[in-house]
Amino acid sequence: MTTFTTVSGDVLTDVPSHRLSIVVPMYNEIDSVEPFVTAVHEALGNYPFEWELLLVNDGSRDGTREKLDEQARLRGPHVRPIHLWRNFRQTAAMQAGIDASRGDVIVTLDGDLQNDPKDIPKLVARLLKEDLDLVAGWRQNRQDGLWLRKVPSKIANRIIRKITQLEFKDLGCSLKAYRASVLKRVSLYGEMHRFIPAWMATVTSPARMAEEPVSHHARAHGESKYGISRTLRVVLDLLSVNFFLRFASRPGHFFGGVGLGVSLIGGLILAYLAALKISGQDIGGRPLLWLGFFCVLGGLQFLTTGVIAELLIRIYYNRGEIAPYHTSHVPPQDADQAWHHQD
């Protein structure tokens, strides 16, 4: 157990020994690279445990790659740039950093300086002292535009809470601290980074997750790269999250229920038409005949194609040799190398 003081002056006591990996996706953030890396080192300057900073370049084209490599040369091997071959988007970039991390604790945050690195020790301390698997940041005083960011975020958070049954106030905050052994059992793709608490609920108890108020700053450089245009993708991914939370171990119950319902409608229509036929009426030209036929056929498709397709997608992303990104990153050969040590 260790006691240390944060930059803000807070004294954190009895923090168990650990190694910390900080994962930061960056896309076209050339102006933020140097001040961000500086802010992390200032925040963790007296951190008594080993830590590493993984900066994931998500296919940037504005010189971010060169800036990251420069900071790695200046700061030392604990600053580890990871360069994706193209822009695979935020979730894949985050997954690349998580896969390359070596710490017992993983912290994720954005590299645009809206998340404050000074909050990292606070989140890690609560994670370890309370024996949790996730501590998520909660931006109580969010410094973003009202209509394009705050309002859509509040609506999305309300919908996500309703569907996932997880009482998090700010699922969109990238600043989170995780127990690495639990996080690495979850595979991320699509826009799934905002649903990590929901995915973690499939491998651990929601009682082992918590939310902690954190600082939030207005963007000082550049503009948001992951804005409101992702709304449709988020909605589609939310449907997928809901499916796997409820039916991951029994997908036939979901598709079977829909399929049986549609087939029942079709069967009732065809039974009605059969009764009319028996009574001597002509049913050959009735639209109901086609409706009943296609309802039965659609029900069978729900029972077969849907189950197979969803399971194949899940298997695809869970295979060890497949990842939703490609990178030129080469990890350190020795697990004890390339860590930042307190001076």
pLDDT digits (tens, 9 = 90+) for 213-261: 998 887 666 565 545 555 666 677 777 777 777 776 677 777 878 888 9
Residue 138 has pLDDT above 80, yes or no: yes
Say if residue 71's pLDDT is above 70. yes
Following DSSP, what letter does each residue of 43-106 receive, concatenated? HTTT--S-EEEEEEE-S--SSHHHHHHHHHHHH-TTEEEEEBSS---HHHHHHHHHHH---SEE
The residue to which tokens 């091997």 are assigned? 77
Backbone angles phi, psi at 177, to 5 degrees: -115, 135
Pairing of strands 20-26, 134-139: unpaired
How far is residue 118's CA from residue 39's CA, in Å, rounded to a whole number? 8
Would you call 184 helix, strand, or coil by DSSP?
coil
Cα separation values, 11 from 17, 47, 178, Å: 16, 12, 21
Confidence of residue 195 (pLDDT cuts 50, 70, 90): confident
- What pLDDT is recorded for position 236? 72
pLDDT of residue 96: 94
Mean pLDDT of the 176-192 span: 87
Considering only residues 314 and 201, tell me which one the structure prediction assigns the higher pLDDT: 201
Q: Is the model's pLDDT at 318 over the cut of 70? A: no
**Mean pLDDT, the chain, integer:** 82
The per-residue pLDDT for 326 is 63
Q: CA distances (Å), 57 to each of 62, 182, 186, 211, in order? A: 11, 25, 22, 28
Say whether pLDDT at 148 is over 60. no
143 pLDDT more than 60: no
Fold of 2-246: Spore Coat Polysaccharide Biosynthesis Protein SpsA; Chain A (3.90.550)
Task: Tell me what pLDDT residue 341 has.
Answer: 77
Q: What is the pLDDT of residues 255-298, one digit of tens each?
A: 878 888 999 999 999 999 999 889 888 888 888 889 999 999 99
Percentage of the chain beyond pLDDT 90 is 43
Write down the pLDDT at residue 54: 97
- Tokens 């009202």 identify what position? 146
For residue 272, the Cα-to-chain-centroid distance in whole angstroms is 49
Q: Does residue 113 come out as left (phi exceeding 0), alpha (psi in the -120 to 50 range) or beta?
A: left
Predicted pLDDT at 280:
86
